[in-house]
Amino acid sequence: MLSIKNLHASVEGKEILKGINLEIKAGEVHAIMGPNGSGKSTLSQVLAGNDAFEVTEGEITLNGDNLLELETEERAREGIFLAFQYPVEIPGVSNLQFLRTAVNAMRKHHGQDEMNAAEFMKLAKEVSKQVDLDPAFLKRGVNEGFSGGEKKRNEIMQALLLQPKLAILDETDSGLDIDALKVVADGVNALRAQDRAILMVTHYQRLLDHIVPDYVHVLANGQIIKSGGRELALELEEKGYGWLGIRDESTADSGAN
């Protein structure tokens, strides 16, 4: 489904990704782990098409199509979904309006009729229950005044509504207490399907207790230095990143990854 070959990307002239190779097939769940500053978030942003990052070399294809030629919105319509590490607050745009506009943009792209307000409201209420989000949140501004956990649940709700081919979860576990983590994990597990792939980006392995990946990759200094099955995550948990000879820069430049 997704094929990444020798991907190099920079931000403001500084190279962050230094030759990533990754193959993800439909139905698979992959986890990318790595210390802060290793390039995990950059990879997520590049896949979603954030133009703050410049791809300098390499290729990304989705089902054989060159992803790099597509605008962000076109990628989304082709099935790429990024659950943001820091979901954006947009006061003045109601969550309901935002979600309906997105769902209808997707439906239009696939030649389906747009949903009217009443139909959508019904659907949105069902899905909000699935992620344990009070339907009252639909009326509020997008993520406006939501707690960290509510924002993450709102991201998963969007994924459930948009039914992507590839869902990328960027540090979806960060800032969640154990109950919220469980709700989010249940939402993600509900997304697992034969025709869908999931790419989880995470610093810690605790999310992987709830969403068991098929493959685990370790990203360090812009490259995947080790790949394996789920046991690799457990090994990392036990031995730390130092075991692979990686310096964990979490204290040095947290937030810059």
Q: Where do contacts with other proteins occur on this chain (CB under 8 A)?
A: 48-50, 52, 71-73, 75-77, 81-82, 84, 87-88, 90-93, 97-98, 101-102, 105-106, 109, 141-142, 158, 162
178-191 and 148-162 helices cross at what angle (nearest 10)? 10
Count of positions (residues) in the chain: 257
Report the nearest approach of other proteins to the CB of residue 227 (Å): 27
Closest to 173 measured CA to CA, from 193, 199, 145, 203: 203
Task: State which residue, 43 or 220, has the beta carbon closest to other proteins.
Answer: 43
Q: In degrees, to the nearest 5, what angle opens at C-alpha 33 toward C-alphas 203 and 10? A: 95
CA angle (84 as vertex; 78, 85 as ends), nearest 5: 150
The two beta strands, 29-33 and 197-202, are parallel
The 3 state secondary structure assigned to 184-215 is HHHHHHHHCECCEEEEEEECCCHHHHHCCCCE
In the block, residue with structure tokens 């709830």: 210
For the CB of residue 244, give the shortest distance to other proteins in the complex, in Å: 32
Specify the residue, 10 or 94, whose C-beta has the smaller distance to other proteins.
94
Is the CA virtual torsion 9, 12, 15, 17 positive or negative? negative
CB of 93 to other proteins, least distance (A): 5
- Which of 92/111 has CB closer to other proteins? 92
Residue with tokens 């019904």: 122
Q: Which is nearer to other proteins, 158 or 202 (CB)?
A: 158
Kindly state the smallest distance separating residue 122's Cβ from other proteins, in Å.
20
As to burial, measured by CB atoms within 10 angstroms (0-12 exposed, 13-18 middle, 19+ buried), residue 5 is middle
Which is closer to other proteins, CB of 29 or CB of 76?
Answer: 76
Q: Which is nearer to other proteins, 91 or 145 (CB)?
A: 91
Q: How far is the CB of 95 from other proteins (least distance, A)?
A: 12
Query: In angstroms, what is the minimal distance from the CB of 194 to other proteins?
Result: 22
